[in-house]
A and B are shown apart, each in its own frame.
Chain A
Amino acid sequence: MTEATLRVWRGDRDGGAFEDYTVPTDEGMVVLDVIHKVQELRAPDLAVRWNCKAGKCGSCSAEINGAPRLMCMTRMNTFDPGEPITVSPIKAFPVIKDLVSDVSFNYEKAKTIPAFAARPKEADGTRRMYQEEVERVQEFHKCIECFLCQDVCHVIRDHDENKMAFSGPRYFVRLAALEMHPLDANDRMELIRAKQGLGFCNITKCCTEVCPEHIKITDNAIIPLKERVVTEFYDPLAWAKRRVFGRSGRGLPPAAAPGPSSPHSREPEPPSA
């Protein structure tokens, strides 16, 4: 049986320090397994968030050797035996205890994003979208809300005062998913520029580097949003074009072709209050 030593941050809002724990390990273990061993054998009250243990729920975010990662997807055999491994809570947000931080900032930001609003159905009562259109947005829907991108983003990590004006990479991914959704009819461009603080992002790409779902946050979500904001607010030619030709949309309805009769021609539910 082998052993591993973790240097775990223990403490709460009033302060804390790193403590070393040496516990036995097994083949194939991930950092979260070792943390559980520490709970079981050494520190029963060691606080840690976790759920699925398979990289799907995004609960067990922490900083392992200073790198924002999911503990459940960080295998112990990626470290050299005997190498010291530090585990600390994500630091962009206030710590509650040990490895658990108060991430409510993110849930507050989620509320500031106007919901999806579907445009009218096709003439045959269906909603048609095509694989090549949905694929771009499906990448964004992979987000498991681990908030590692929020944690690593220096705009809020290093500058608390920006938290009011800046929503962070996770919510730019969400906004990109809404803006590029083939069916969405809401316009959020002014919101993205003024309230969500897209301009604060200086595309240094740390969010992309830490994303456990390998979403190309910067290249595929943030930069295309920046380009859309440019068209809306900074591009004199685009402005002139809008004045002359009117708003031409973003490839919105190629007026619904009357298709074959479909099983979904039933009436929609009355909208929820």
Chain B
Amino acid sequence: MAADYGTRMATTAGVTRGTVTTQVERPDRWWLEPVAIVSVLGLFVLYSAWAGLVNAHYYSEPYLSPFYSPCITSSCPHVTFGVPFVGDWWGFSPAVFIVGFPLVFRLTCYYYRRSYYRAFFWAPPACTVPDARAKYAGETRFPFILQNLHRYTWYLAVPIWAILTYDAVLAFIFPTPDHTGFRLGVGLGSLIMLANVAFIGLYTFSCHSCRYLCGGYLDRFRGAPIRYRLWNTVNRLNTRHGLFAWLSLFSVGLTDLYIRIVSMGWLVDPRIVF
């Protein structure tokens, strides 16, 4: 009985999908995207775990690997801001203290959530391809309900970005050969670190929470011209949030890799010092 939509809630909501076959009708290679995401994210996680724990070759003056910044133990060859917060008793990698900050920012990021829910949880693996699990509660329960705290992770991510920017500035200041003074210069490493903070900045400031905090919470923009302009700018950046997420992920890994290789002496950093 079609049509009278006055009284049908109970029936409709209870009714199953009907009898159409649920086999996947997509003829395209829909599994490519999840496979690619699993591979790339997996590789990154493995590499960064190793690089963060190995506790060596993360500094090659004046370059500090972003995995180890800010470096706050007294074991650091370059203690950020010069004051170690953690003393000699700490025997492990100093990266452990700070790795969580960018990690939770990315873990709760709206873009990464899309990607890993699809690729790792298969909920769904691709559009119109059935979910892997029979039960689904989305982000209504623990632990996923914690995704709602994304804006707090943004609060953490901003100072990290500021410190990385500070590191990138230091990357243009080179020691004199006799280690008594400093001179300005540009090395390949300086440029890589600069590009890295640029990408991380674009990623951090195109964040959906940032967009909301800048002015997205307003319903009326008249009378709030600055917030409107801010919101509008972030809005434009936000359309490429996914792109920035990937670019900054690669740049962070490659920056560490570059510094590591230079530090291990496999490569001499080309530089011009004035």
Contact (Cβ within 8 A) B221 A132: yes
A-B contact pairs, 27 of them (CB 8 A): A9-B21, A12-B19, A66-B128, A67-B26, A67-B127, A88-B25, A94-B12, A94-B17, A95-B18, A104-B12, A108-B12, A108-B13, A154-B123, A155-B138, A160-B16, A163-B12, A181-B219, A202-B138, A203-B110, A204-B114, A209-B127, A219-B241, A223-B208, A224-B211, A235-B149, A251-B218, A252-B219
Contact with B along A202-221 (1 / 0, CB 8 A): 11111001100000101100
Contact (Cβ within 8 A) A219 B238: yes
List residues of chain B with CB within 8 A of the CB of A180: 219
Contact (Cβ within 8 A) B13 A164: yes
Interface residues on chain A, size class: 35 or more
A68 at the interface (CB under 8 A from B): yes
Report how far A92 CA is from B15 CA in the complex, Å.
Answer: 10
Contact among B26, B114, B148, B212 with A65 in the assembled complex (CB-CB below 8 Å) = B26
Looking at B28, B134, B140, B220, which has the most chain A CB atoms within 10 Å of its CB? B220
List residues of chain B with CB within 8 A of the CB of A157: 17, 128
Looking at chain A's contact residues, is the secondary structure mostly helix, strand, loop, or mixed? mixed
A228 at the interface (CB under 8 A from B): yes
Looking at chain B's contact residues, is the secondary structure mostly helix, strand, loop, or mixed? loop
Contact A206 B17, CB 8 Å, known A250-B219, A251-B220: no
Looking at A88, A157, A158, A206, which has the most chain B CB atoms within 10 Å of its CB? A158
Report how far A86 CA is from B26 CA in the complex, Å.
Answer: 9
Contact with A along B121-162 (1 / 0, CB 8 A): 001100110110011111110001100111100000000000
Report how far A32 CA is from B124 CA in the complex, Å.
Answer: 29
B22 at the interface (CB under 8 A from A): yes
- New A-B pairs, 20, CB < 8 Å, besides A133-B220, A160-B15: A11-B19, A67-B127, A91-B22, A104-B5, A108-B9, A152-B127, A152-B128, A154-B131, A164-B13, A179-B219, A182-B220, A200-B140, A203-B113, A203-B117, A204-B123, A206-B127, A223-B208, A230-B151, A250-B218, A250-B220
Report how far A30 CA is from B134 CA in the complex, Å.
Answer: 36
Considering the complex, give the chain B residue whose CB is closest to the CB of A105: B12
Report how far A108 CA is from B3 CA in the complex, Å.
Answer: 12
List residues of chain A with CB within 8 A of the CB of B135: 159
List residues of chain A with CB within 8 A of the CB of B139: 199-202
Report how far A202 CA is from B211 CA in the complex, Å.
Answer: 19
List residues of chain B with CB within 8 A of the CB of A179: 219
B8 at the interface (CB under 8 A from A): yes
Contact among B19, B136, B148, B241 with A234 in the assembled complex (CB-CB below 8 Å) = B148
Instruction: Give the B-binding residues of A (Cβ under 8 A).
Output: 9, 11-16, 63, 65-68, 84, 86, 88-89, 91-96, 101-102, 104-105, 107-108, 129-130, 132-133, 152, 154-155, 157-160, 162-164, 179-182, 184, 197, 199-206, 209-210, 216, 218-219, 223-224, 226-231, 233-235, 250-252, 254
